[in-house]
Structure 1
Amino acid sequence: MCESLMQITKTRDQRPESKLNNEEGTSLTFPQKAVGESRSSMINACFNFINSIIGSGIIGLPYALNEAGLPFGLLLLILVAYITDYSIILLIKGGNLSGTDSYQSLVKSTFGFPGFLILSGLQFLYPFIAMISYNITIGDTLTKVFLRIPGVGPDHILAERHFVILLATLALTLPLSLYRNIEKLGKVSLLSMVLTLTILIIAIIRAPTLGTQILPTDDAWVFAKWNAIQAVGVMSFAFICHHNSFLIYGSLEQPTLAKWSKVTHVSVGSALIISAAFAVAGYTTFTGYTQGDIFENYCRNDNLATFGRFCFGLSIVTTFPLECFVTREVISNVICTRGLSKAEHVSITLLIVAVCTSISLAYDCLGVVLELNGVLSATPLIFILPSACFLKLSPGRWFQRENVMPTILISLGLFVMITGLTMTGLYPQSCSHGVEMFYCADANVSGTVPPA
């Protein structure tokens, strides 16, 4: 899952423009780099892209396999990765045809101001719901971390999720969200990436040591399950990274479509391998018991899992401000033609954080939140809008060869949205928030040593 760098894009839009030729013989306008500012190599671009994809959304992928079934879920994960790869390249092709250099300007030039409003709404909704999921996760993970502190029991205030969410909001996420410049959060983003990789390693380590002690559910190894469409929503939430596509493309030395295709294939492919490894490790450990927040499955006395919870909680705290930055920028771009004053900046930030916190205090089922964010915002941003822009700009008819795939993606995206919303509403997945799993009664599973 990635974070939009809209402020950086706005800064780039203020620079002089230069035209860069791609290998198809057409030109694409990109803002000229400032004096002394170097461009990225393909390796650096790949690293930045992978970093933008692999984020906190990875935590819900084991749950997605639980919804879809392991074999079919892996096939869907590969399909979502392929569509992500294809649509990212399609975005740049659309920018080539329209002479634009950002997702926002592409949609606005293609579908006018109504299209710009739709995209702005989706770009607001995605990080807004993500922040709600982050708060729910903070309440789930940090309470169990605090329970490992001597003297903190189940009745202690630090074990109360509402208090922990409020504490984290007031002490950490709100102060960080009040930054006006996203560049000050750059080191925080790097820390978040390191923590995410640490969580992946922990899940892989615990799969063989813990999974063998937990009996699999009856339908653990079936090919497919009925909730597969909802799983696509969770996977889309984890893979969306289209906000940064133009920014990373423009940072390349001599950017061309051929170079961009290589960067995209390597980045999305690497992210797919990491995501699949985490999803399989998590699901095979807990099978049908897998929760939307995988750390809800680990026992409270599991020291390695507790360290993983701490890493994930810290990662969420460092990611929340980036998503808040995006929502604030979307609001600013829609309602203001100028930069926000200090008072407006603080007021809008307080309003966004307050609404997200209120919803997360009232609702605690992470899996459903991930599903809704996937089908409501991530799916149209990945499946529908890039394809619709390309079809509108393409001189050929929709049934011609190069337009067949975008047409299919629009149909598939609409199907996933409608079906996913219907199934989430009619058949919401159950949660066991804050409840110690039954298998934790076994001393070996929980990681404790039985009394002599």
Structure 2
Amino acid sequence: MVGAGVLGLPYAMSQLGWGPGITVMVLSFIITLYTLWQMVEMHESVQGKRFDRYHELGQHAFGEKLGLWIVVPQQLMVQIGTCIVYMITGGKSMQKIYDSLSLGKPTKTTYFIIGFASIHLGLSQFPSLNSIAGISLVAAVMSLSYSTIACGASLHKGVQPAVQYGPRASTTTGNVFNFFSALGDVAFAFAGHNVVLEIQASIPSTPEKPSKKPMWKGVILAYIVVALCYFPVAFIGYWVFGNTVQDNILLSLEKPKWLIVIANAFVLIHVIGSYQVYAMPAFDAIEAGLVKQMKFKPSYFLRAVTRMLIVAFTMLIGIVFPFFGGLLSFFGGFAFAPTTYFIPCIMWLILNKPKRFSLSWFVNWFCIILGVLLMVLAPIGALRNIILQAKGFKFFS
């Protein structure tokens, strides 16, 4: 759950302001915990059958063909989009370490992104999520570590002189678009639903001991950790730097140098593991499509080439558009909002059929309306920010 999106939360707070920012953070926490509970419950909603993939549950709710068309494109956007963001994050963390240690003359971000991608050309050949469990565990520990450092270093730095908590933009239009963009940042941070069924599928299940019980315990533990990481990082980072905080809180922290190097090393190790967590289901879906739909013969060669091409694609997009904040917000709204905020609610209404105007009915429709607004508004703000950043950006620099 705790991903690189946490590093963008202070920036999102600076675009939202104290009141709206706290409201959006708390609402997102509650809504995503609720929809995650729905996913866990629906995993075995049919006796004797497990929906081990998001698209399988979608097919059960929407129909065989429509379910695939609704869920699979969204899933792939989430998975590939996250991999692109993590490609940029990993490359920039490597660059920050290089520059902080003064290992040589400053060099292009492009080279560091290529270096990060080269790691995944090898890791991508592991067959499944279970085979990278150790990497995932290390990644989880790293995410907690750099979140702690972000909070601790910010507190040590103290509130900056002449700090301001007013709007970032000088115009009303700019502030409105920034508000939309910030919603996408928050959505990206809270989205872990895309692989929850794949994770639950790895847990043994019997009628006496269904998988939803240990899975829900895991979700509660995950969200306790989310609360301990997300809220302090978001609020302390904004409190210390105000509306001058950068889109990655670690970039606003320059001293002590050794601690910032360690924090960026933790980020680097984390995104190495997290990239694979999101990439593996994408590999699986694309390979299955090639074999089932296009009649390719399943082989190690097909797996190797397909996965290398996907890694190369995410690397290329990361090199051309290395805008961490803008892409975070765009994918958070356009891709993560549907799979996290409202598709689980729609499936719940279809499969469980709560009584009209009951509490469950109202709650689900509330989440659906908010989720659709988020999906529409966040990418608009994000695209505007990307365009503004691109105006003064030298590509492949």
TM normalised by structure 2 equals 0.84
After superposition, residues 144-155 of structure 1 pair within 5 angstroms as: 144-150=96-102, 152-154=104-106
SS of the aligned residue for 1:152 comes to coil
Alignment match, 1:111: 62
Contact 2:8 2:185 in 1 (8 A): yes
Contact 2:117 2:312 in 1 (8 A): no
Instruction: Pick which of 364-373 and 420-429 moved more.
Output: 420-429
Is 1:137–2:84 an aligned residue pair?
no
Alignment match, 2:164: 217
Contact 2:90 2:268 in 1 (8 A): yes
Is 1:377–2:335 an aligned residue pair?
yes
How far is the alpha carbon of 1:90 from its aligned partner? 2.0
Ranges in structure 2 where 5+ consecutive residues have no aligned partner: 169-174
Is 1:78–2:33 an aligned residue pair?
no
Alignment match, 1:40: none
Alignment match, 1:279: 234
Q: 2:278 aligns with which of 318, 323, 326?
A: 323
Contact 1:300 1:306 in 2 (8 A): no
The whole-number CA distance in structure 2 between the counterparts of 1:300 and 1:351 is: 39
The whole-number CA distance in structure 1 between the counterparts of 2:160 and 2:348 is: 51
SS of the aligned residue for 2:97 comes to helix
How far is the alpha carbon of 1:267 from its aligned partner? 3.6
Is 1:168–2:116 an aligned residue pair?
yes
Alignment match, 1:57: 5
Contact 1:128 1:327 in 2 (8 A): yes
Ranges in structure 1 where 5+ consecutive residues have no aligned partner: 1-52, 436-452
> What's the CA shift string for 1:342-369, capped at 9, x where partnerless?
1111111121111111111111211111
> What's the CA shift string for 1:378-413, capped at 9, x where partnerless?
110112211111111234554344222112211111
The whole-number CA distance in structure 2 between the counterparts of 1:247 and 1:177 is: 18
Alignment match, 2:171: none
SS of the aligned residue for 1:336 comes to helix
Alignment match, 1:312: 267
The whole-number CA distance in structure 2 between the counterparts of 1:104 and 1:111 is: 10
Q: 1:238 aligns with which of 189, 203, 213?
A: 189
Alignment match, 1:291: 246
The whole-number CA distance in structure 1 between the counterparts of 2:96 and 2:211 is: 49
Is 1:203–2:150 an aligned residue pair?
yes
The structure carrying a bigger helix percent of its residues is 2
Change (3 A) 1:365 1:214: farther
Give the CA RMSD over aligned residues. 3.0
Contact 1:233 1:375 in 2 (8 A): yes
Question: What fraction of aligned residue pairs are identical, expressed as a percent?
Answer: 20
Instruction: Pick which of 58-67 and 266-275 moved more.
Output: 266-275
The whole-number CA distance in structure 2 between the counterparts of 1:352 and 1:370 is: 19
Is 1:333–2:288 an aligned residue pair?
yes
Alignment match, 1:91: 39
> What's the CA shift string for 1:271-314, capped at 9, x where partnerless?
22321112223222322122222222223873311221122122
Change (3 A) 1:341 1:214: farther
Kindly provide the amino acid, as one letter, of the partner of residue 136 in structure 1: I
Alignment match, 1:409: 367
Kindly provide the amino acid, as one letter, of the partner of residue 215 in structure 1: A
The whole-number CA distance in structure 2 between the counterparts of 1:105 and 1:305 is: 43
How far is the alpha carbon of 1:213 from its aligned partner? 4.1
The whole-number CA distance in structure 1 between the counterparts of 2:183 and 2:277 is: 24
The whole-number CA distance in structure 1 between the counterparts of 2:214 and 2:128 is: 30
Alignment match, 1:179: 126
The whole-number CA distance in structure 2 between the counterparts of 1:288 and 1:430 is: 18
How far is the alpha carbon of 1:169 from its aligned partner? 1.7
Q: Count matched residues.
A: 375
Contact 1:234 1:374 in 2 (8 A): yes
How far is the alpha carbon of 1:79 from its aligned partner? 0.7
